[in-house]
A = this chain, B = another copy of it.
Amino acid sequence: MANTNRRILLKSRPEGEPTHANFEVVDHPIPEPKDGEYLSKTIWMSLDPYMRGRMAETKGYAANVNLGDAMVGGTVGQVVKSKNPRFKEGDFVVEYAGWQSYAVSDGAMSMKLDPGAAPLSLALSVLGMPGMTAWWGLMQIGKPKAGETVVVSAASGAVGSVVGQLARLHGCRAVGIAGGKDKCNYVVKELGFDACVDYRAAGANLFKEIRAAAPKGIDVYFENVGGAVQAAVVPQLNDFARVPLCGLISQYNEMQMNPGPDWRLLLVKRATVTGFIVSDHFGQMEGFWKEVPAAVKAGKIKYREDIVKGIENAPEAFMGLLKGRNFGKLLVQVAEDPTRK
């Protein structure tokens, strides 16, 4: 056991793109659990686009990180000391320990993981928050019907990849939008989407390429990105289209408001746009648990991990995430995973 707790603190708030100057890597003593608490050693740490919002001063939908505090985030760890009867030494847990190599917790928001059921890291991707986000947005808001066309942006990412595969499992045409040839190939050849549009290569032809990939129009647009992709998709919505509004990653570094689509486009098509955040719905995930783990086990929902080693590399990896540099679910491996060969 390393004898310090390496932590990444928010040092200053970014103006536009985050830089290394916004973060500080510090080594603190490993904390001691009090009665009712346990100490865990972080193995896997999730990097997700929403964290950009937590760095800002303006109020988003969750409390922002205070300057000088460790960045927040979901993690998988192993209990190394426990004064909580629910958790014993050696247990694996998925928790919200943030950007640090050790954490003390009362366990209120922690869940034990069975390392025999699935790889531990999946609790941060397809079997965790991103998978639930995909399922809730697609199934509960998008309500896809067999034969419809589902378009998802950031299609090779942790959320988008599950959206498209679920859409296929429910009989829909799944069209991805992703940045780069490799990601598009992966989305079609590995994940089985019907088509994928490379928005970077498409440039000014984006509208036309989406039209070619979704010739019957778009019934569900699962929105992860905003910006030019949004502008090209929204005019192609069909009557009664549903738009689960999950994220707008292309805008997160923007300091000013960006115009959205003319609402006449929504009015004429009687479209519905619904913003959501999965944490509002963690208690309503029966359908997710019924469907997704079995589909993952059966290989019907595939996943890809983009692993960065060493917690001190989290800031760099996170900056890359906001630019789409990752390929698959971005994870930081903070310590050895004893269950992984």
Q: Could you tell me the dominant secondary structure of chain A's interface residues? A: mixed
Question: In the assembly, what is the distance between CA of A262 and CA of B272, in Å?
Answer: 16
Residues of B close to A53: CB separation below 8 A: 268
Q: For residue A273, which residue of chain B has the nearest CB?
A: B273
**A19 at interface (Cβ–Cβ under 8 A)?**
no
> Quick check: B226 and A268 within 8 Å, CB to CB?
no
Query: Per-residue CB proximity of A258-298 to B under 8 Å, as 1/0?
Result: 11111111111111111111001000000000000000000
**A315 at interface (Cβ–Cβ under 8 A)?**
no
> Quick check: A275 and B280 within 8 Å, CB to CB?
no
Residues of B close to A273: CB separation below 8 A: 263, 266, 272-274
Residues of B close to A275: CB separation below 8 A: 263, 266-272
Residues of B close to A260: CB separation below 8 A: 259-263, 266
Q: For residue A226, which residue of chain B has the nearest CB?
A: B263
Residues of B close to A51: CB separation below 8 A: none
**A48 at interface (Cβ–Cβ under 8 A)?**
no
Say which residue of B246, B248, B267, B277 sits within 8 Å of A245 (CB atoms): B267
Question: In the assembly, what is the distance between CA of A247 and CA of B61, in Å?
Answer: 29
The 9 residue pairs across chains A and B that have the minimum distance between CB atoms:
A259-B259, A267-B275, A257-B262, A260-B260, A266-B275, A272-B274, A270-B275, A273-B273, A260-B263
